[in-house]
């Protein structure tokens, strides 16, 4: 349909959508009153918008609500969950009675949407992330040559989040014509009016600056809403922003435009008054208690075995570089892989993949939050996203990673340049907290290879693995420790030095494995054999197996890591030993404990206490 040939929606259509909007408002109020908490007024400002999207614009099969063939809807302002649940109910995904179970312990209809609910692709509720998720869905659809359109409803409060503007730039730059943003500008935040209140022209200028086709409408005038949705659909070559002036609590006199109603349900009496004003009561039968939770969430698709990694014996290769080779090998056998980099592809080496598969690579520019949420959108479409930047800059997207876990998403993140071993660039570029933060993500996998072979094999494992997978790569070149036939199970570790006489166990990962090996050789020559463990999989951890190794050395263990002392390998091992009921009779934990600065990699590894010399000394203290 082209813009010129569009027929205006009929009066009957407009009236039908208006009635739907009223039902969404009323159900939102009823559900939050029943729950005793929630955000009814945030739903009411969006009712006509959501009704127009769901019942006029979207192609959507309620029996297959997450189908990649249908259009997709993302409620970025997740606290308006009831209006989405009401729309799903009206569409027939589940009965209206289910909406009344909102926020109950046993209901999949949580306070904020998650993909447990049919029709939801990503969890929302941490604001400002939905447009990025939508962009990921949109580029995934484009890669699939699917006609899918993506609709994202954002609130005006959340447009203060920088991520919205990262996403807007990204969408504009890549001319995502299949992406429509609908802004519910109700002018009221949680605690006071929003920054721009109803100055709609500011929003128009901002989105036009980002390359959007932007228009301002009255968000409660259904004719305007439908016409705008039609124009959006007809727009070619750019994403669209429908900027809707709305009223929080629209339709009810004592709520409309009133402060101090954010996140508050109506009392039963207030609800009765509100329904009277709206002129609609809905008689909802008791809920039968059947769960409508999605049974199948996207899983990484299987793929045939890629070629083996190929390095000459004796090579020294940085694990960060091996990551790039691995991506390329996987890309040859798995067309679902999509890589995205935060303007560092020449440091993280995803450029090796890009050169081989340019259509499967996106430049994410320096916008890590958007990059991670785009990956969530891609994963929701069944893609296998790999996103990379320096490990320290993934900290920038930590809330997005947290939300990805709540989204039950399958995303792969590679952080390069970990630890003091990066050298001269100094602490702003050194990740010293990444193991801690990625370990503290639900059901995450945290991998930390020490050589190119393990880096490649672990990258392969990520592509097959669900959940949040994190690969920590290092800047320096390191000699190969393994051959291509070595297996790297998850969980697992490698015992690189072992004897029946071991006086202690030294556990490292990444560059500290190489320091541990140097120390072990020196200690052996001094008559103190030690066991050396490469803990390439930091999470999950096989607590019994680790405990068995430590017990074999009479509980004497030295853990050494290029990371702060908190939350990394040391604490992972101590927790594992406690879990296994094993005493670490004598332990030493070598980690970075002072603020590092610039210097040569070797200088820093030594100065900050994690070099072979320090391992030898620590073993000497306990063994």
Residues 200-219 that bind a second copy (CB under 8 A): 202, 205-206, 208-210
Please give the structure tokens belonging to residue 408.
């039950």
| Closer residue to a second copy in complex, CB, 300/423 | 423
Question: Contact region for a second copy (CB under 8 A) — 187-195, 411-419, 490-498, 503-511?
Answer: 187-195
Task: Identify which of residues 301 and 567 has a Cβ nearer to a second copy in the complex.
Answer: 567
Question: Which residue is associated with the tokens 């094999």?
Answer: 457
Specify the stretch interacting with a second copy by CB under 8 A; choose among 40-48, 268-276, 477-485, 569-577: 569-577
β-strands 530-534, 240-245 pairing = unpaired
- CB of 301 or CB of 540, closer to a second copy: 540
Instruction: Single out the residue of 323, 353, 493, 564 in contact with a second copy (rule: CB under 8 A).
Output: 564
Strands 337-341 and 361-363: parallel
CA distance 568 to 559: 10
Q: Do the bridges between strand 537-539 and strand 556-564 make them parallel or antiparallel, or are there none, so unpaired?
A: unpaired
CA 614 to chain centre: 38
β-bridge partners, 180: 151, 240
Structure tokens at 539: 């999470």
The DSSP 8-state label assigned to residue 431 in this structure reads B
Structure tokens at 1: 């349909």
Question: In 3-state terms, what secondary structure has residue 532?
Answer: strand
Q: Is 269 a catalytic residue?
A: no
For a second copy, give the closer residue by CB, 23 or 39.
Answer: 39
Residue with tokens 């020449």: 346
Site string for a second copy, 377-416 (x = CB under 8 A): ---------------xx-xx-xx--xx-xx-x--------
Q: Does 477 bind a second copy (CB under 8 A)?
A: no
Residues in 486-545 that interact with a second copy by CB under 8 A = 539
3-state secondary structure of 166: helix
- Closest approach, Cβ 429 to a second copy, in A, equals 6
Are 342 and 368 a contacting pair, CB within 8 Å?
Answer: yes
Residue from the set 153, 587, 590, 618 that interacts with a second copy by CB under 8 A: 587
Assess 143 for contact with a second copy (CB under 8 A): no
Angle subtended at Cα 41 by Cα 40 and Cα 47, rounded to the nearest 5 degrees? 85
Closer CB to a second copy, residue 136 or residue 251?
136
Q: Does 252 bind a second copy (CB under 8 A)?
A: no
> CA-CA distance, 533 to 126, in Å (whole number)?
39
Q: How far is the CB of 553 from a second copy (least distance, A)?
A: 15
Active-site option among 368, 456, 549, 561: 368
Contact between 157 and a second copy (CB under 8 A)?
yes
Contact between 103 and a second copy per CB under 8 A: yes
Q: Tell me how far apart the alpha carbons of residues 619 and 263 are, in angstroms, rounded to a whole number.
A: 57
Nearest by Cα to 326 from 168, 454, 492: 454
Out of 9, 40, 82, 128, the residue judged to bind a second copy by CB under 8 A: 128
Count each helix (H run) and each strand (E run) in the chain, helices first: 23, 19
Q: Which is nearer to a second copy, 38 or 52 (CB)?
A: 38
Name residues contacting a second copy, limited to 31-70 (CB under 8 A): 35-38
186 touches a second copy (CB under 8 A) = no
- Determine, following the binding rule CB under 8 A, whether residue 321 of this chain makes contact with a second copy: no
Residue 289 near a second copy by CB under 8 A: no
Q: Does 599 bind a second copy (CB under 8 A)?
A: yes
499 in Cβ contact with 529 (< 8 Å):
yes
- Distance, in Å, from the CA atom of 454 to the CA atom of 225, rounded to the nearest integer, reads 54
According to the binding rule CB under 8 A, does residue 589 interact with a second copy? yes
Binding string, residues 411-440; x marks residues near a second copy by CB under 8 A: ------------xxxxxxx--xx--xx-xx
- For 502-569, the DSSP string reads --EEEEE-THHHHHHHHHHHHHHHTT--EEEEE--EEES--HHHHHHHHHHTTTEEEEEEEEESSSSH
Q: Tell which positions 161-180 bind a second copy, by CB under 8 A.
A: 161-166, 169, 173
List 119, 136, 189, 415, residue binding a second copy (CB under 8 A)? 189
In terms of CB distance, is 184 or 210 closer to a second copy? 210
Residue 352's nearest CA partner among 374, 387, 323 is: 323
User: Rounded to the nearest whole angstrom, what is the least distance from the CB of residue 620 to a second copy in the complex?
Assistant: 16
Among 90, 121, 351, 561, binds a second copy (CB under 8 A): 351
Could you give the CA distance from residue 44 to residue 261 in angstroms, rounded to a whole number? 12
Does 578 bind a second copy (CB under 8 A)? Our answer is yes
- Residues with catalytic annotation? 368
């Amino acid at each position: 349909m082209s813009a010129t040939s569009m027929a205006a929606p009929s009066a009957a259509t407009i009236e039908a959508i208006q009635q739907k909007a009223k039902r969404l408002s009323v159900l939102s109020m009823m559900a939050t009153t029943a729950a005793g908490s929630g955000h009814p007024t945030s739903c009411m400002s969006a009712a006509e918008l959501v009704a127009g999207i769901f019942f006029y614009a979207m192609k959507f099969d309620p029996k297959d609500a997450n189908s990649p063939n249908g259009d997709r809807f993302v409620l970025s302002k997740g606290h308006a969950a009831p209006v989405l649940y009401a729309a799903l109910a009206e569409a027939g995904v589940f009965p209206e009675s289910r909406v009344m179970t909102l926020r109950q312990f046993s209901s999949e209809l949580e306070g904020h949407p998650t993909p447990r609910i049919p029709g939801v692709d990503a969890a929302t509720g941490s604001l400002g992330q939905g447009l990025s998720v939508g962009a990921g869905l949109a580029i995934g659809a484009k890669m699939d040559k699917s006609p899918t359109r993506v609709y994202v409803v954002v609130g005006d409060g959340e447009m203060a989040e920088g991520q919205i503007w990262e996403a807007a730039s990204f969408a504009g730059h890549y001319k995502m014509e299949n992406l429509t943003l609908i802004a519910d500008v109700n002018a009221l935040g949680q605690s006071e009016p929003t920054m721009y209140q109803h100055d709609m022209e500011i929003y128009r200028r901002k989105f036009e600056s980002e390359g959007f086709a932007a228009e301002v409408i009255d968000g409660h005038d259904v004719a305007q809403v439908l016409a705008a949705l039609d124009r959006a659909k007809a727009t070619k070559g750019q994403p669209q922003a429908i900027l809707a002036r709305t009223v929080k609590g629209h339709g009810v006199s004592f709520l409309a435009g009133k402060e101090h109603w954010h996140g508050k349900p109506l009392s039963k009496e207030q609800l009765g008054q509100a329904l009277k004003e709206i002129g609609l009561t809905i008689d909802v039968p008791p809920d039968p208690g059947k769960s409508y939770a999605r049974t199948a969430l996207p899983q990484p698709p299987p793929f045939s075995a890629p070629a083996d990694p190929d390095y000459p014996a004796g090579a020294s290769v940085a694990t960060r570089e091996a990551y790039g080779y691995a991506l390329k090998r996987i890309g040859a056998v798995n067309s679902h892989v999509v890589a995205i980099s935060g303007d560092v592809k020449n440091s993280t080496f995803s450029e090796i993949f890009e050169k081989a598969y340019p259509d499967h690579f996106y430049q994410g520019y320096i916008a890590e939050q958007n990059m991670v949420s785009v990956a969530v959108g891609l994963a929701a479409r069944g893609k296998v996203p790999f996103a990379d930047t320096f490990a320290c800059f993934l900290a920038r997207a930590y809330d997005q990673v947290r939300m990805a876990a709540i989204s039950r998403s399958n995303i792969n993140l590679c952080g390069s340049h970990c630890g003091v071993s990066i050298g001269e660039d100094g602490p702003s570029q050194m990740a010293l907290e990444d193991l801690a933060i990625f370990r503290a993500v639900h059901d995450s996998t945290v991998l930390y290879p020490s050589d190119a072979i393990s880096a490649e094999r672990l990258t392969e494992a990520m592509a097959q693995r669900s959940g949040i997978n994190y690969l920590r790569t290092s800047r320096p070149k390191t000699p190969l420790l393994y051959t291509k036939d070595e297996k790297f199970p998850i969980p697992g570790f490698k015992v690189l030095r072992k004897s029946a006489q071991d006086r202690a166990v030294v556990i490292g990962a990444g560059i500290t494995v190489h320091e541990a090996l140097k120390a072990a050789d020196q200690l052996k020559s001094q008559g103190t054999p030690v066991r050396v463990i490469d803990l390439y999989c930091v999470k999950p951890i096989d607590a019994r197996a680790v405990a068995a190794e430590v017990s074999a050395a009479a509980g004497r263990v030295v853990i050494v890591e290029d990371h702060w002392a908190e939350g990394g390998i040391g604490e992972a091992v101590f927790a594992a030993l406690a879990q296994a009921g094993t005493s670490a009779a004598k332990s030493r934990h070598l980690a970075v404990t002072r603020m590092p600065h610039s210097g040569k990699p070797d200088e820093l590894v030594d100065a900050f206490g994690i070099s072979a010399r320090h391992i030898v000394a620590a073993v000497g203290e306990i063994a």
